[in-house]
Chain A
Amino acid sequence: MTVAAPTPKANMGQPVPRYDGLAKVTGSALYAADFPHLDLAYAYLVSSGIAKGRVKSLDVREVRTLPGVLDILSHENMSDAVAHAKFFSDGGPVSNSVVPLSSPEIAYAGQTIAVVLANSYEAARDAAQRIVVDYDIDPASATFGSKGAIDQVLAEQSKKHEDPKVGDFASAYAAAPVKIDAAYSTPTQHHNPLELFATVCSWDGPNLTVYEPSQNVYGIKNGLAQQLGMDASRVRVISPFIGGAFGSKGALTQRTAIVAVAAKRLGRPVKLVATRRQAFTIATYRAETRHIIKLAATPDGKLQALSHEGFEVTSRPDPYAVAGTDASTRMYACPNIVSNVTIVRADRSTPGFMRAPAETPYFFALESAMDELAIALNMDPIELRRVNDTMKEPIKGLPYTSRSLMACFDEAATAFGWSKRNPRPGSMRDGDWLVGWGCATAAYPTQMAPASARVSLFPDGTARVETASHEIGTGIYTVAAQTAAEQLGLPFEKITVALGDTILPPAPVSGGSITTASVCSVIAQACAAIRGKLSNEAVGADLVEALNKRGLGAIEEYAEWVPHGAKAGAMQALYKGAAQPIGGAKLEDRMQFAFGAQFVEVRVHSQTREVRVPRMVSAFAAGRIMNTRTARSQLMGGMIWGIGSALHEQTDIDTNAARYVNTDLAEYLIPVNADVVDIEVIMVPEEDKLVNPLGIKGIGEIGIVGANAAVANAVYHATGQRIRDLPLRIDGLMPSA
């Protein structure tokens, strides 16, 4: 086996190469904007250059006469074309409750204020760039501390959120001998998937087909029908491949309805591929956060008190919050805990899910503070985690279904060579470079959602899996085929898989690391039903023989699977595109989490202070690993993103204008190959019979969770400088001149 295809350990599936690998590398995999259409028209968005105010006038006279320009849509001719739909946190389909092109009011910079339709992309772009917009400008609040930004207690705004707390934090904190009290922050970040936000809409009489990269095709189907006042059965959404999503393609954005209306009005299919710059404002993002953490411990490291206060920016209309205190308060044994979350309303677009939405910022704070506590205690940071490891979460005393945190620490520490670490900051120099080693805990809730699928077995020994799940690059085609192959006893090559189309049975949103667990569970169930119908024992050739003996043309089983803890009606919600993931810390009776331990070596130049990461080792235990190849790739992707999140990524905000500044991939920095040197992924065997019948926990997001803190902890070890604000860049590490 190669590095890319690790030998499976206990409870791990084979590293089968990707089902769709060949199609992708040869270019035959069609992404949303790739499908051919006859008589296609092109849309180009005009984006607001101000954050707050209204469009006074939109001078389109010159532009209308340009060759190739077909129409210009704006609030002046669209005002009631799209109906209001609820924000998804309130149970609706949309990522942002501002109704597109419904009024001249501007709620955030980059809001779509007009759309040019033309015979070519170039003509549409030229026209859009020439439109002269006159604004009434109101002062806008950009972020924390901006004039006019409003702080609200999340628990008072959202019925769903309850601040975890237990015991008497204040007295325990006051009485404890060793304490940490520190403030941390994380910046605005944007997903920047390589594939841009594209939408193509095509009408055939009353029927609408939408091609759009989506993590939730049923969500788009139902939400769009609601926005357009039509029957959802008339909407079909096609999304067989998604070129990166990371949460940004989960909810319905404003562009889809606009393109649908445009196509209807023109009587032609319309294609929109929004620009990279527009990608910063037409979809969601990770909002900036702040944290205050207080920790107190006994001299031998036992946590006595923990307080986590979180602050998150959101938009005026929508109370989006990630509220990572749900997880951060439950990681370690501690008798006295308080927490609260404050949302800060500013004149920004509504943020949304981005890889480990809650854990990435909240664990940066928690795991940095744990490192600070270890130093205050003069204790090895791994030992501090060990002393406070627990099989019961501390708030309600619920048991973890499984938790292999210390096994992860031990395996990763050995592979990393942690025992050779000199704990004294600045002690591990290599010439002009200061070397630092740091580590942190990663954890991610094991969640699932209802799913449905259809599996068919044919007399020639092939089988077909159909479910409207989404290939966002994670490998669901592959593990879906593997599951069917395993369950039916057929070779992998005999399975075909159809995904990403609302003519297929619904699967839940591909977010929250739920896909493999949910979708493979239902596929296994459908396969079991086929076996049950034909002959309970037989698999493989015998099963096919049983089918042939009966003279059947095919046997087709539709299955529905509902996870532990799902509410009544969850399956029906799935058909509406609104199934909520359940699990993690949200269950009444137990805790479901995957864990990991992340180790990083940094080098900081002693003079110019740039930070590099030559080495990263992480171990994860996440129940059954379906395919060690795709799993390693997924975990590695998370770790690499962790390097970027810690060192590079930040959407710069002009706070006067409440606008983003570095809106392209030259200025919005992510790691390049030269920044990613040696990444070692260790998968620790773990069996969890409770989470679902196959024992899958999900690994989509956990790879990033501990990376921020591990890097910051390593930088402290290298330099003696504790950086509590991400990203960790030269500015923060440079002593002033």
Chain B
Amino acid sequence: MRPFVYERAATSEVATQAIRAGIATDTAPRQGRYPAEFLAGGTNLLDLMKLDVMQPAKLIDITGLTQAHSAILVSPQALRLGALAKMSAVADHPEIIKNFPVVAQSLTLAASAQLRNMASIGGNVLQRTRCSYFRDTSWSACNKRNPGSGCAALDGYNRGHAVLGASKDCIATYPGDFAQALMALDAVVTVLGPDGTRTVPFSDLHRAPGSTPNVETTLRPGDVITAFVIPAATWMRRSLYMKIRDRQSYQFALASAAVALDIDDGGLVRQARIALGGVATVPWRARDAEAALVGKKLDPQTAESAARLAFGGAAPREHNAFKIALGQKTVTRALVQAATLEV
């Protein structure tokens, strides 16, 4: 861990300005990142700093914004989640558990109780990949950490890596769970930047690796995420998060699916929402699979053929081919289970 300047921001305006100032004083990006970072729960950022993977010159602590930006508001129109809300606060919220089950479950099934009490949901969606080659600086080839250096995972040990959305420069999996719920539910992100507040569809927040895997989001320097807004919809209650992993708890997903269904009285699917985790480089929406379900009765066969569509473009590497079959089974299982929910 390198020495860094630590500042506290009491408001989000101050935070964005501080970042701007941080960038102005030290313009050379390190490892392809801006030299100043916001610090929320710190469970990802400090970890990566201790490993010397991230070397920000300046940290702007935004936990002072918690009061202003951690409210959980449920209205008939939308669910609004302040970005500094703790993962546990959202996961344990009775109304969210009941009316937005996929949101609560994606957080309950993530990390550990201790981490969920520490970590913010804003930091959660921005957490960085668990690719071991990225997290250990003694591997020289990692385009995400060190642009242009290559990718050790391509022909290395890649059981955990992505089969969807990968490029020849990076196959790292997006590790988080909550993002899949936001993705499936058409969430919108409220961002406060140096030029004021704006909203961004959650699906536009993360960037596929392409040839610049070091650039992970469309956020600009000084952008603070202040909230996530999930518009109310008919499929909310019939939703769930299915997470498959080697052990029962405290592991990132090998494959996961956030699904939400609107099924009419005749048992036909009116609307379906599916997002995939553990298998893709970014939070991944399976729109073809969703479309294929509309108007059909959701039985295991339709679920399975939709699941197959979800993995249409999947490209396996040496150790992760099982994720294609596993991902399909996960989607199938999630859909079939969601269809049987009492709502």
Contacts and interface: CB of A to CB of B under 8 A. Distances in A.
A binds B: yes
Interface of A: 47, 49, 122, 125-126, 129-130, 277, 432, 605, 607-610, 612, 647-648, 652-657, 661-664, 666-667, 669, 671-675, 727, 729-731, 734-737
A672 B328 contact: no
Contacts of A609: 326, 329
Interface in B308-332: 311, 319, 321-322, 324-326, 328-330, 332
Contacts of A610: 244-246
A260 B250 CA distance: 39
* Secondary structure type dominating chain B contacts: loop
A737 B311 CA distance: 10
Contact of A661 (B157, B254, B328): B157
A648 B248 CA distance: 11
A607 B304 CA distance: 11
Contacts of B50: 125
B6 interface: no
A122 B140 CA distance: 23
Contact of A663 (B132, B155, B160, B244): B132
Interface string B153-173: 001110110000000000000
Interface centre among A664, A730, A734 (most CB of B within 10 A): A730
Given A608-B333, A661-B157, A737-B324, 15 more contacts: A47-B138, A129-B137, A608-B330, A652-B157, A654-B152, A657-B139, A662-B157, A663-B132, A669-B246, A671-B247, A672-B249, A730-B244, A730-B326, A735-B325, A737-B325
Contacts of A730: 244, 246, 254, 322, 326
A728 to B, nearest CB: 10
Nearest to B327: A737
Contacts of B325: 734-737
A736 B321 contact: yes
B8 interface: no
B92 interface: no
Contacts of B322: 730-731, 734, 736
Contacts of B244: 608, 610, 730
A609 B137 CA distance: 34
B169 to A, nearest CB: 18
B247 A125 contact: no
Given A648-B247, A674-B247, A653 B326 contact: no
Contacts of A674: 247-250
A608 B135 CA distance: 29
Nearest to A47: B138
B248 A675 contact: yes
A448 B1 CA distance: 47
A349 B311 CA distance: 41
Nearest to A277: B136
B132 to A, nearest CB: 5
Contacts of B1: 122, 125-126, 129
Nearest to A665: B250
17 contacts: A49-B139, A129-B1, A129-B2, A129-B137, A130-B2, A432-B333, A605-B333, A654-B152, A654-B157, A657-B156, A661-B133, A671-B247, A672-B247, A672-B250, A730-B326, A734-B325, A737-B325
Contacts, number: 104
A39 to B, nearest CB: 23
Nearest to A671: B247
B136 A663 contact: yes
B130 interface: yes
Interface centre among A605, A654, A737 (most CB of B within 10 A): A737
B329 to A, nearest CB: 4
A607 B311 contact: no
A729 B320 CA distance: 13
B196 interface: no
B138 A673 contact: no
Contacts of B135: 664
Contacts of A122: 1
B251 interface: yes
Contact of B130 (A49, A648, A667): A667
Contacts of A655: 157
Given A49-B139, A736-B325, A737-B328, A647 B247 contact: yes
Contacts of A675: 247-249
Contacts of A729: 246
A64 B245 CA distance: 45
Contacts of A648: 246-247
A730 B246 CA distance: 7
B172 to A, nearest CB: 13
A47 B51 CA distance: 13
A608 B249 contact: no
Nearest to A66: B3
B26 interface: no
Nearest to B3: A126
B52 interface: yes
Nearest to B138: A49
Interface string B193-215: 00000000000000000000000
A125 B49 CA distance: 11
B140 to A, nearest CB: 7
A736 B320 CA distance: 11
Contacts of A737: 311, 321, 324-325, 328
Contacts of B132: 652, 661-663, 667
Contact of A669 (B139, B251, B319): B251
B2 to A, nearest CB: 6
Interface in B107-166: 130, 132-133, 135-140, 152, 155-157, 159-160
> Which 9 pairs between the two chains have the least Cβ-Cβ distance?
A49-B138, A737-B325, A674-B248, A674-B249, A129-B52, A607-B329, A731-B322, A661-B132, A654-B156
Nearest to A731: B322
A692 to B, nearest CB: 40
A609 B130 CA distance: 23
A648 B251 CA distance: 11
A730 B133 CA distance: 23
Contacts of A661: 132-133, 156-157
